[in-house]
Structure 1
């Protein structure tokens, strides 16, 4: 999907830029230490854009400080109050999220003028809870269309002032409504970057499945320039899930692609415990590498033949393999040491070959054992 490019604190969104993964602070700005701690953890996890609630002007100094100390660009989330929008920009926020329809026209003009002067990007949008009776009547009760029209009305207001540094967003708890609304917006306003998500997706597996289902339907059609997996959970899980969705669809290769078998009566190891055992080691693995953990020697090199690095249970302990070829054996206790050695060989070979998907075919037993 070809779109205009907007830049938020140096982060490009739209055009040929990668699909960005964002999240939101789960703490109020009044608890600044926790906000900064979460911000730093999110930056380490790969979060690229961070939305922050800014509900009152007493939090102005905290927002100023966060903009200075955060390594992630900040998007201030504003509701109703145009003065807060202007304060957020004065605090250094490179982007704000507002609903122009909820602001008095005479005050909104000041917000737009300030955004034009400061180069601030404005995200507008609607969710299923903000659809009004008039919009539903206009669409004969079609909530997907009503959601799109709600966004369209906001866009029209900004365009009247000649403002174009805009990101669009239409999100619902209902997947079908979300997909329908975004398809309409893309067909009619293809030049604007779009933020996607399933709002109020919920907790645990429910939220993850609902988000993955909805986002995948959109991403598979080329819709979406930024995304958030909105969970009733830690923001770190939102970022992890966002990258996993993109990785699974082949849209980004940030981080490791970790696969493991579901286990059966053939298993020779506790796959779940091995996965947890090696997870800390995988931070050393280059982007785009597939790592497999399999329960037995049958599922190991054969079923996980495409894995760049693989471990599997065997009658004598563990085997290690690369792209279906066994390169060594070890005990479960020695696995971390042997796996680190294999990872180092992979990194050396990847460096020698330059950028691109790694092939492990030249790694031999002598390299590792």
Structure 2
């Protein structure tokens, strides 16, 4: 499987994992809501059970009182009832006692009927509460199962993603190893070719009957620059394009960032220290909108890098080890790290 295919699968699996994680979070919230509803149902069911128990107690008490009253009347018999009635001294009293007995019996029957009705309703409410509680428990159980299922899918997706990432790392390492092997083979071939050429040259040299005198060395080339100090500095710096960066170097064959600007302005007759932060304190500070060719531009909060502005939004600099003196746009990363500019001449 190619590394590009694995990378595509990783992207797809990451999208799937993100979706499952969101679903798991939503399922967890639904589960939390179900648990809250379950607590409410439990409270309502407990309250209904307590009310039903109170109704049962009251009905039992009234039934006990009615039973005791009926037992006394039965045990006394007709004579006892007559004595209770005849206990009155006047006809009005006798009639009153009869009315009381009738009212007591009627009121107790009515109260018992009302309590029986209330108890039936409370029993129905209790049954409804119990049914709602059972439904809430079932809902919570299902929500918990849903949550666990989504979380399990997310865990599986995470495992697949890790496997794909491990496979991608293996492919990348294999590609690096293959590239390193090819590079080593190329270097070995180049060294072998150099050795062959050197051997051939040695054989050719030894076969020469007479040594040839070498011509005299040519005099060193002298370059003359014209214009203002800033123009001369730009011309000198431009002439060093392609030369290697070496830390602490200030020419003529290698440079670091402050060594390049020091070297260029030295050719224009201006001495600068070999230190970016010190050069930042030379000359006059100018805004980015005022930049002119020859101005020194600085980067990073600690002024760890610098270069020379050459116009058209570009600057020339010696970047870092492994690189060469080159021109870069004053944008992107360098715009983000821009710290200021100084005009040395003009």
Q: Answer with 1 or 2: which has the greater Rg.
A: 2
Structure whose residues are more often strand by fraction: 1
Greater RCO (Cα-Cα under 8 Å, separation 6 or more) = 2
TM-score category by the smaller chain? Answer: under 0.3
| Higher-helix-fraction structure | 2
Compute the TM-score of the two structures, normalised by the length of structure 1: 0.17
